[in-house]
Amino acid sequence: LGKERGYFDQEGIDLDIQEGRGSGITVQAVAAGTATFGYADIPTMIKAASKGAPVTAVGVALQTSPMSVMGFSDKNIRKPEDIKGKTVAITPGDSMSQIWPLFLKKTGLKEGDFKQVAGDAQTKLNAVINSQADLLLGYVMDQAIKLQDATKKPVTPIRFADYGVNMVSSGIIVQKDYLKAHPEVVKRFLKAAQRSMEEAVKNPEAAVDAMLKAQPKSGVKETAVVGMKETASLYKGPDNPNDKPLRVGKKNMDETLALLVEYGGLDKATAGKADDYYTNAYLP
């Protein structure tokens, strides 16, 4: 939306949006300098940075976790208690399966209360679509939309964040050397990005139209608008709900780092502190 409306042009930024192939590869591209900015999963970036990747987050877009356990609404599974006796599809090793045990702990569920089946991202979707599983672990603005696109049936997510399990998700990352050498470019980029996000919240249909114009195969308008609204609802963090988009709260980042150490495979010895991985200093 910001590119189409000229927000980046107005800041002197010639923006070329390239299709990503997952956060791990995006972090590598930014670290290597082949991409100036990256939109990536911040926990993935933190893990790479703790091992020496020269990258940092300069704005966090999704400050409430999109992680959910979800199924078709006609199954009437609306709260954690309803998961008992059901079958849940997970992808072993992904971020959601790593945090899933904490969600179970917080909600008083035990692994014996339900059945689990494992598979990759597509297998997981197919299992729910074909009724081999009642639920899957997914993101409210991703897998929930894919299920609806495939079946035209409504989906009900049970969000981890609603039960005290929150971790920041995607954000804007930059190479540390580039940030030092070009602070004004970063500030102008973030000004345009923040403005784009604010406009997308006000007009999700326009944001989706701009996305489909740039990437016609990226979705179906009706459900993409639902996905955009779900995404916009994640822009505000639990500890700073009145801040503008991209400005993340310290408590939120501290809790994210603590979760990564306890559940996400981040080595405590090299983890450092949350302040090592992000800055709000370049935001308007």
Domain boundaries, the chain: 7-64+173-276, 67-163
Model pLDDT, residue 32: 97
**How far separated are the first and last CA of the chain, in Å rounded?**
19
Nearest in space to 87 (alpha carbons), one of 107, 116, 58: 116
- Asked if residue 259 has pLDDT above 90, the reply is yes
Predicted confidence at residue 1, as pLDDT, reads 92
Per-residue pLDDT band for 219 (boundaries 50, 70, 90) equals confident
Provide the sign of the torsion angle of the four alpha carbons 141, 143, 146, 147, taken in this order: negative
pLDDT of residue 264: 87
Topology of the domain comprising 67-163: D-Maltodextrin-Binding Protein; domain 2 (3.40.190)
Tens-digit pLDDT profile for residues 36-51: 999 999 999 999 999 9
Greater confidence, 96 or 189?
189
What integer pLDDT is reported at residue 220 of this predicted model?
87
Which of the four pLDDT bands, split at 50, 70 and 90, describes residue 20? Answer: confident
Give yes or no for a contact between 77 and 158, defined as CB atoms under 8 angstroms apart.
yes
Identical fold for domains 7-64+173-276 and 67-163, yes or no, is yes
Residue 131: how many other CB atoms lie within 10 Å: 10
- Contact between 172 and 62 (Cβ < 8 Å): no
The per-residue pLDDT of the chain, averaged, comes to 95
Q: Which residues of 95-124 are buried (b: 16+ CB within 10 A; e: fewer)?
A: bbebbbebbbeebebeeeebeeeebeeeeb
pLDDT tens per residue, range 69-99: 999 999 999 999 999 999 999 999 888 998 9
pLDDT of 248 higher than 90: yes
pLDDT above 90 for 257? yes
Q: Is the dihedral of CA 180, 183, 186, 191 positive or negative?
A: positive
Classify domain 7-64+173-276 at the CATH class level.
alpha beta
Q: Measured between alpha carbons, how far is 125 from 127 in angstroms, rounded to an integer?
A: 5
Residue 218: its pLDDT value, please? 82
